[in-house]
Each structure stands twice: as C-alpha cells, then as structure tokens.
Amino acid sequence: MKELAVRDEHELESRLIGTGVERLALLGKHADALMQGYSRDEVPLEALSDSALRRLLAARIVWRPDDQGGVKLAPRVRELIAEMLADETRRQVNADVGETLELLRTLVQSYREAQNQGEYWRQEQQLLRLRQAVDDLNGRFADAIDSLWQRLNSDFGFVSRLNDKIRENDRAQKQIVRLLDGLQLIDFDELIELVGSDGTLRKLLISQLQRQVSQHYTSLREVQSRLTELMARFRQQQSRSRLISGMAAFLREHPNFVPGNYARRSEVPDLINQASPLIAAAAPALDHEPDIRVLTDLVHQLPTPVHKPQAVAAARPAEAEEQSLVAARQQALKQDVENFYLTVIDHPDPMGISALAYLQESDMEWGDEIWLFQVIAEYQGLPRSEQRAFRLHQSESRASRFNDLRLIHDVTLQLANSA
C-alpha cells in the first residue's frame, strides 16, 4: 500500500517535470511576442498560431482579461521578466510574509506526521518543500532589497523629472516600511515552539532564518536611511530651482528693485562678509647672502625680452577706478619721454643729450630711475627701423666686484646720422 503511494508520487513528480519543461520551453519559443507584450499593452497575436496561443493560455503565461479584449502577459510572467531585467519601473516588491508563515506551519505539521508514521520518503519531501519555502521567503527579501539598492544607486535614473524622482523615492520608502512590517511578523518564539527538539528543523527555521532575517533588517535600515538622505537632496534641488526661478521672475517684474545695504547694518549677515583679496607679493631681495647667488643665476637665465611696439599703446578693457590715476600718470610720463625724443631730433647734438640732464633742466617731477626706465623702454618699444635712427648710450657700471649686476647711471640719446 505504502509502496504504491510512493510510486504514485514518483509518477506525479515526473509528470510535473515533463509539463514544466514543455511550458518553460514555450517562453523561449515565443520570446519575441512575449517581450512585445511586456513592452506594450498586449501580446501581438499575428505572430502566434492558434495552437501556440492555446498552449500559452493553458500554461497561464498569457491570459485574456475579458472576452472582447486582447491577450496580455500574466502578472507573474511580467514580474519574472521585470526581475530578470532588473527593470526598476516594473519590478515589484512582494514580501507576503504572512502567507509563507502559514505554509511553514502546515509543512512542519505534515513533516511531523510523516515522521511519526515512519514515512521517510514523505518526510524528505516535506523537508524539501520547507527548505524551498524558506529559500523563497529569503529570496523575496533579497530581491526586494536588491531592487531598492538599484533604484537608490541610479538616483532613480529611470525617471527624469525631479517630481517623479521624489514620488518614486516616496514609494520605495513605503515599500521598506511594508518589508520591515513583514519581517516583524516572523516570531522566533513561535517558531522555536513549533520545531521543538528536531535538530534539522531547528537549523533550518531558527538558526538559518534568524541569520538571514537579521541581515535583511540591517540592509533595509541602511537603504532606508540612504533613501531619506537622497530625498532630502531631491527636495533641496527642488527648492533651489524654485528659489532661483522665483527670484528671477520677481526681478524681471521689479527691474528697479534695490535691496538694503547689509554692509551698513550693525549686524552684518555672515554671508556677505567677504574680505577683499590680498596678494601675498614678494620681490627679489639681496639682503640674504645665500640668496644672491640663486638670484644672479635666475637673472642670467632670463630670456632676452622681446618687445612688441604696440603693447604699450594698445587699448585695454575698462579698468577699475583706482587704476585710472596710475594709467594717467603713465601716459603723462610717456608723453614727456616722447617730447625728449623730439628734442633730440630737433636739436641734433653730436655728443647726444643726457636724459638726466634734460630731466633736471625741465620742471618735470619724475624720479630719476623711472625717467631713465621710460627712456629705455621707449627706445626698445620703437620699431627696429626707427631704432636705427637713434643711438642710445647707457653709462653703466657693475654693482660690485663680486656682482655682475649692471647699474645704469644715465643714458645719452643722439641721432644716428649726427655722429
């Protein structure tokens, strides 16, 4: 009698396997049509023969919601595809813990009965199904958590608008609450009582499940806090965008709007307190013995300056107020130097005219150094052809016996052909 039952069960099992393989093959055979059904609303029937459609309907891969309507993918198949594609727009979080717990209780009872009656084969079968039920439960949480991380890490990249992102984030947070509620339903005290002293069951339903549940808890809490952070960022982005467009609209409407001068208040807002720039300038100094050699080397390495004649007179973009005075003085100096050059042309002197002597005779107030500098600069600023018309003699000496620096004491300018 017992053997007969076992044989029946074996037969049942092999029949199930056969049908399963046949029906799974249908998924592959009609993959194109099914995927079109996934991406659109309905499965296109043109590609399917009548018998193929009948088989798909019988396998509950597709269904017909009403007689007049078209054929659609069965919800489970749609979920399966979404899961396989990690398609976050359609992936569902389903942690139906209550029902699984009910199933576990039933299976434990059947397992017990089989054990008591010494039906080992049935006992094995029940244990297998128990394992599968625990794995399913575990897998559902793992999938749900995976889906949450995917969405989080992509910044909800599958929707583009900020409002949609905020809504999706909100939905994900609600899913987490449901998942956490689900985990809460697993009452280990009850399970301990249920499994009693059975070592196998204890391992499966207590130690293994407990470890997995605690992992899920940790992951869910982590993903939850990250989602909250991301939500705050979304909201901040939204608020910034509103603020800027609001302010721009206000300023367009009130072009003459001038806010108060916060800098004159007794309490200046921190935000506008921004110190003026300070350039940490430095210049070569010769008062430190070891540096002199370095500086001398540097001077020797300087490339010969190439002067572009137009650089001095070139127009420059608007300058700040403080600079305009400097610019005016610079211009006056240049003008005076030009007059010096004109004097040299008008009064050709074979000995040339000393720039310093000219300066001292005139009532100009330029410093000697700056005057000489400008006279030399003016000469170097001339186009080469005009430079040839003049001869500029620099009376110079070495700074010291140990220093090759040349000091210019005066320059004499003369017309080239007057010599």
Partner 1 sequence: MIEHGPLLERLLAGEFVCAVSDDRAFRRLEDEEVREQIDTYLRPLNRRLATNAEGSVYFLAWRQLNDEAREQLSRQLGEVLHSLMPMLEWLQLMQEAMGHDALVAPGDVLKPAELSARCEDNQSLREQLERLAGDTFFGSQSEQLDAQMKQVFKRLKEHGYLLQPHADRQVYLVTGKIDYLVDLVRLIRDEENLPVEDERPQTQESLL
319 binds partner 1 per the rule CB under 8 A: no
Binding of partner 1 by 260 (CB under 8 A): yes
Beta bridge partners, 390, equal 415
Q: What is the bridge-based pairing of β-strands 403-415 and 353-354? A: antiparallel
Binding positions for partner 1, 266-305, rule CB under 8 A? 268-280
Q: Which residue carries 């350039």 as its tokens? A: 279
With CB under 8 A as the contact rule, the residue among 117, 200, 228, 241 that binds partner 1 is: 241
Check binding of 262 to partner 1 (CB under 8 A): yes
* 251 near partner 1, judged by CB under 8 A: yes
Does residue 116 touch partner 1 according to CB under 8 A? Answer: no
Total residues binding partner 1 (CB under 8 A): 43
Of residues 41, 95, 114, 49, the one with CA closest to residue 73: 41
State which of positions 146-185 bind partner 1 (CB under 8 A). 160-163, 166-167, 170
105 is a contact residue toward partner 1 (CB under 8 A)? no
**Minimum distance, C-beta of residue 229 to partner 1, in the bound complex (Å):** 14
> Can residue 324 be called a binding residue for partner 1 (CB under 8 A)?
no
57 binds partner 1 (CB under 8 A): no
For partner 1, the closer of residues 17 and 272 by Cβ is: 272
According to the binding rule CB under 8 A, does residue 238 interact with partner 1? yes
Cα–Cα nearest to 226, from 145, 151, 152 = 152
Query: CB-wise, 147 or 169, nearer to partner 1?
Result: 169
With CB under 8 A as the contact rule, which of the stretches 47-55, 236-244, 299-307, 331-339 interacts with partner 1? Answer: 236-244
Q: Are 97 and 110 in contact (CB under 8 A)?
A: no
- Which residue, 317 or 367, is less far from partner 1 as judged by CB? 317
- The residue range among 122-130, 186-194, 219-227, 231-239 that interacts with partner 1, by the rule CB under 8 A, is 231-239
Q: Which is nearer to partner 1, 132 or 237 (CB)?
A: 237
Q: Which residues bind partner 1 (CB under 8 A)?
A: 160-163, 166-167, 170, 235, 237-251, 258-264, 268-280
